[in-house]
Amino acid sequence: MGMQIGTETKNSFHLDNYQWHYRALLIFSPTEQDSDFQEQIMLLRREQGGLQERELKLVYLFQDGESHADQTAISEPIAEQIRMQFAVEPDEFAVILVGKDGTQKHRYAKPISARELFAAVDAMAMRQYEMQHKR
């Protein structure tokens, strides 16, 4: 039994794992079929390059349906915890930009264009520093 807990944690998603490595774009939606959610996915679909350049990970959090980030499923208790941490209502669509320090930087109630998103990220102090010190 002890072992099971270990494997569960390793393969399960925790927002803390991103801290200092990545920014996260949390996309909360009642379901995957939600029109706002569908629109948001469309707006970002062709922007992989821009997302990678900004070290931005997309995290999908559904009230009804399996939440996931990258290829990793997010367990319901963890999805619930994230929802509470950012005070998102179950039937609410919300897009929350989380900085590398793990705090909320911007919050949107409607789908956001890649241009608007990238402008918000590029205005952040840590991102400014990264752009000056391109490795």
Q: What's the pLDDT band for 85 if we cut at 50, 70, 90?
A: very high
**pLDDT at 90 exceeding the cut of 80:** yes
Rg of the Cα atoms in the chain: 15
Residue ranges of domains in the chain: 2-132
Q: What pLDDT is recorded for position 76?
A: 93
Q: What pLDDT is recorded for position 128?
A: 94
What pLDDT, in 10s, does the model give residues 37-75? 999 999 999 999 999 999 999 999 999 999 999 889 999
Query: What global pTM score does this model have?
Result: 0.89
Q: What pLDDT is recorded for position 14?
A: 85
**pLDDT at 97 exceeding the cut of 50:** yes
What pLDDT, in 10s, does the model give residues 2-44? 444 444 445 678 899 898 999 999 999 999 999 999 999 999 9
Q: Is 54 exposed, middle or buried (0-12, 13-18, 19+ CB in 10 A)?
A: buried
Q: What's the pLDDT band for 135 if we cut at 50, 70, 90?
A: low
2-132, CATH topology level:
Glutaredoxin (3.40.30)
Q: What pLDDT is recorded for position 70?
A: 83
